[in-house]
Amino acid sequence: MASNEEGSIGTSLHGVTAREQVFSFSVDSSSQTLQSDDPTAKFTLPVDSEHRAKVFKPLSFAKPHMRAFHLGWISFFTCFISTFAAAPLVPIIRDNLDLTKTDVGNAGVASVSGAIFSRLAMGAVCDLLGARYGTAFSLMLTAPTVFSMSFVTGPVGYLAVRFMIGFCLATFVSCQYWTSVMFNGKIIGLVNGCAGGWGDMGGGVTQLLMPMVFQVIRLAGATPFMAWRIAFFIPGFLQVVVGVLVLTLGQDLPDGNLSTLQKSGQVSKDKFSKVFWFAVKNYRTWILFVLYGFSMGIELTINNVISGYFFDRFNLKLQTAGIVAASFGMANFFARPFGGYASDLAARLFGMRGRLWILWIFQTVGALFCIWLGRASSLPIAILAMMLFSVGTQAACGALFGVAPFVSRRSLGLISGLTGAGGNFGSGLTQLLFFSTSRFSTADGLSLMGAMAVLCTVPVAFIHFPQWGSMFLRPSSDGERSKEEYYYSSEWTEEEKRQGLHEGSIKFAENSRSERSRKVALADFPTPETRTPTHV
Amino acid sequence: MAIHKSLFASLLICLLFQISHGATKERLFSDLEKGALEVTAKPSRESVLDAGIDKLSITWKLSSTATKEAEFTTIKVKLCYAPVSQVDRPWRKTENELFKDKSCPHKIITRAYDKSPQSFEYTLERDIPTGTYFVRAYAVDAKDHEVAFGQSTDEAKSTNLFSVQAISGRHKSLDIASVCFSVFSVLALLVFFVNEKRKAKIEQSK
């Protein structure tokens, strides 16, 4: 039964690598203790005690884990396409609707503001109805708003429609929530990074897609002022199609759909007020809110302004400006997963402290390159600065979602929602401050935004976990508070603990021991209090 | 290290491009000979003109004060924004450097230079945005550099301006298609939702 891998019982190194299994119900591919009716046997990928996949195989579409991953990121990708579909076409739209710079800027703010509320709501919807319906609601209820661009005649209508389309960015929360319940904590940085990054790519793809679609429609004979309206049907279509796919092919949880599991009593329904309270009470939520506002926030702002910036400042053609702008968003394909992966790697070496440092480094470096982008007056330098800026900022986004799943177990959905909302809030704020008036040129606006981002990344130093430490402080030496179980079960009242409602959090706490640094794991031989290990 | 070297090399190349490119872009609007051409632009009716429908009668001829006539090879007639249409719209800004100037983006006609007075009947294109305009004719030499110009308004750009109303870009067929697809989207979602709730209830009652 004992495999030859380092760390299994029988070798004198047991406990050293901190990767041994200390819980009784996980599946190891070499273990022979499977019973024929073991529920974990039906999964294609190896899973942990919560039936979350421990391995990430991006090329697979296996039910339920990888399928959820792909549906999640594709939904999010589609929403990004819709939300920023107007941006590369602004030079045409501003002529059709007689917009001023203020109108364009305000619509940009509106396009990201709607999602502040919808992302908050989405967190709750996911906790209560499941990720599938969260995603489908977002996609299929905002598709009408995308189609309604055909009715717009002036700045007010334009702003209203962009505001309503922006609601669909809530799919970010449902996507991250979905992956967080499907994948184990050790790989969650990479998985969330890939899902978030490939979804964010939509903001880049739209800068290429919309001018191309516009061009094709014009070649088919439409005037420019009608062609851009027809072009909006493409993102609308995509949303409906993907929404249907999510509902037919997806599954809320590894064990089934939420409504079925709830009715059969396997998953207990939680109270929204409790979920909300514990999310809001945790100060780390708010620091993540600000941080994300200046990584994803400036990324969203750039999606809105960068195409117009290159079109106006460097006199590029609409399609060329679109290609340059697209490279910003497309860098997400590898930059955000890289950030998540770097976070996971840092966690393996230094635990949670490593994750926090990586986050700070990426975000600050990205912001510094943003300052440079505003200063660049020649096209090649501007493109170079923009690419470096995009990698830094997007990696920071990935790294942040390597930290977020550990802030709370009970309120995971709402915290994803609040953090996501922070991203939109940051975007709305920066667009309002720097890109909606003629006070600053767009170039100056970019540099000022970068400077503000450097400042607003400093709060990451204040995130402290008693069981794992923070950037500058060690973990608590108190015997009780230094345990993961203490942190996660403190989200439940004594009454709820007596009812056993916190069992999920305890399982999660055990699985999260991976966030201790290697040095701590060496000194600590985990002794599970409530279960006996199978290896005894 | 190799990465540092290649980054530095590419930066150097970029800088070189920048320097070489910059040298040729110094032609200024203020260097052009003013009023070398007498330009008139008469709208087909007195009220706001409709893009795609209304016309402008444009004429241009050599002014008696012109001095650089020998260099004229082509005349480029353009539609330009009046100052009121440039407010809070930096993409239409007037700049002295000719390559940066964005105030005259709409081409009307380009003709070889002829000593005799010229005229042209221009139908406003359907992509002309709403705004207030005047007409300017640039006299261009053999190297495709502007040497002189004339415009239908005065130097302050305040007289003889005309207003254009753009097409809306909307169409009934678009509106109908939009409504149909929207209804389909919402209905499809509702159908799925209701269906699944029913199935879950059946499961529970089993």
Could you tell me how many CB contacts below 8 A there are between chain A and chain B? 140
Q: What is the pLDDT of residue A483?
A: 81
pLDDT in tens, B139-164: 998 888 888 899 898 888 888 899 99
Class of residue A10 by CB neighbours under 10 A (exposed 0-12, middle 13-18, buried 19+): exposed
Q: How confident is the model at residue A267 (pLDDT cuts 50, 70, 90)?
A: low
By DSSP bridging, strand B131-140 and strand B74-81 are antiparallel
To the nearest 10°, the Cα dihedral for A205, A209, A211, A212?
A: 140
Cβ pair A225:B168 closer than 8 A: yes
Query: Which residue of A75, A79, A140, A313 is the best one to mutate when testing the B interface, meaning the one whose CB has the most B CBs within 10 A?
Result: A140
Largest CA distance in chain A: 77
pLDDT reported for residue A486: 81
Q: pLDDT tens digits, residue range A347-377?
A: 889 888 999 999 999 999 999 999 999 999 8
Q: What is the DSSP string of A403-434?
A: HGGGT-STTHHHHHHHHHHHHHHHHHHHHHHH
Given a cut of 70, is residue A409 above it in pLDDT? yes
Q: How many CB atoms lie within 10 A of CB A248?
A: 11
Which one is predicted more confidently, A62 or A301? A301
CA B81 to chain centre: 9
Per-residue pLDDT at A431: 93
Give pLDDT, residue A473: 84
**Per-residue model confidence (pLDDT) at position A15:** 43
Q: State the pLDDT at residue B8.
A: 59
Q: Which fold has domain B27-164?
A: Immunoglobulin-like (2.60.40)
CA distance A204 to A333: 10
The three-class DSSP label of residue A517 is coil
Please tell me the predicted confidence (pLDDT) of residue A404.
87
SS3 A382: helix
Residue A515 has pLDDT above 50, yes or no: yes
**pLDDT of the residue at A292:** 94
Look at A140 and B169 and tell me if their CB atoms are within 8 Å.
Answer: no
Would you call B203 and A224 a contact, using CB atoms and an 8 Å cutoff?
no
Minimal CA–CA distance to A206: which of A73, A303, A302? A303
Q: Assign A268 a pLDDT band (cuts: 50, 70, 90).
A: low
3-state SS, residue A49 = coil
Task: Please state, for a pLDDT cut of 90, what percent of chain A lies above it.
Answer: 42
pLDDT-derived band at A490, boundaries 50, 70, 90: confident
The whole-angstrom separation of Cα A346 and Cα A358 is: 7
| Chain A residues with beta carbon closer than 8 angstroms to that of B126 | 223-225
Distance (Å) from the alpha carbon of B125 to chain A's nearest alpha carbon: 10
- Tell me the C-alpha distance between A470 and A354, whole Å: 9
Q: What pLDDT does residue A264 have?
A: 57
Contact A384 B168 (CB under 8 A): no
Tokens 């990324």 correspond to: A299
Supply the pLDDT for residue B5.
Answer: 61
Q: Which of A102, A125, A229 best tests the B interface by mutation, with the highest count of B CBs <10 A?
A: A229
Average per-residue pLDDT in chain A?
Answer: 83
Residue A31 has pLDDT above 70, yes or no: no
Angle at alpha carbon of residue B75, lines to B74 and B76, rounded to 5°: 115
Residue A173's pLDDT is 84
Quote the pLDDT of residue A520. Answer: 61
Interface of A with B in 61-100 (CB under 8 A): 91, 94-96, 98, 100
- Number of other residues whose CB lies within 10 A of the CB of residue A122: 32
Point out the least confidently predicted range of A10-24, A107-121, B174-188: A10-24
Beta-carbon separation of B129 and A96 below 8 A: yes
Q: Using CA atoms, how far apart are residues B162 and A324, in angstroms rounded to an integer?
A: 37
Diameter over CA atoms, chain B: 100
Q: Which of A298 and A274 is assigned the larger pLDDT?
A: A298
User: Does residue A72 contact residue A131 with C-beta atoms inside 8 Å?
Assistant: yes
Least confident of A286-295, A387-396, A421-430, B7-16: B7-16
Q: How far is the C-alpha of A42 from the C-alpha of A492, rounded, in Å?
A: 32
Task: State the sign of the Cα–Cα–Cα–Cα dihedral A101, A106, A109, A112.
Answer: negative
Give residues 360 to 399 of A whose Cβ lies within 8 Å of B.
377-378, 380-381, 384
In tens, the pLDDT along A428-482 reads 999 999 998 888 888 999 999 999 999 999 999 999 888 888 888 888 877 777 7
Distance CA B162, CA B160 (A): 7
The model's confidence at residue A20, banded by pLDDT at 50, 70 and 90, is very low
Lowest mean pLDDT among A37-46, B18-27, B129-138: B18-27
Asked if A338 reaches chain B (Cβ–Cβ under 8 Å), the answer is no
A64 prior amide bond cis, ω within 30: yes
The 10s digit of each residue's pLDDT in A385-399 is: 999 999 999 999 989
The band of B20, judged by pLDDT with boundaries at 50, 70 and 90, is very low
Phi-psi region of A10 (alpha: psi -120 to 50; beta: other; left: phi over 0): left
Is pLDDT at A305 greater than 60 in this prediction? yes
The confidence score (pLDDT) of residue A38 equals 56
Q: Which residue of B has its CA nearest to A145?
A: B182
pLDDT at A233: 95
Pairing of the two strands B55-62 and B49-50: unpaired
Domain boundaries, given as residue ranges, for chain B: 27-164
Q: A530 and chain B: CB distance < 8 Å anywhere?
A: no
pLDDT score recorded for residue A521: 59
pLDDT confidence bin for A193, thresholds 50/70/90: confident
Look up residue A318 and give its amino acid.
L
A320 reaches B (C-beta below 8 A):
no
Q: Does A222 touch chain B (CB under 8 A)?
A: no
Q: Does A440 touch chain B (CB under 8 A)?
A: no
CA distance A436 to A155: 14
Instruction: Quote ipTM for the complex.
Output: 0.82
| Interface test with chain B among A150, A267, A309, by most B beta carbons within 10 Å | A150
State how beta strands B118-123 and B162-165 pair: unpaired
Taking the whole predicted model, whether its pTM rises above 0.95 is answered as no
Reported residue count of chain A is: 536
CB A201 within 8 A of CB A77: yes
Asked if the C-beta of B31 comes within 8 angstroms of chain A's C-beta atoms, the answer is no
Q: Taking residues A494-498, what's their average pLDDT?
A: 80
A326 pairs with which residues across the strands?
none
Residue listed under structure tokens 């799919």:
A171
> What is the least distance, in Å, from the CA of A80 to any CA of chain B?
18
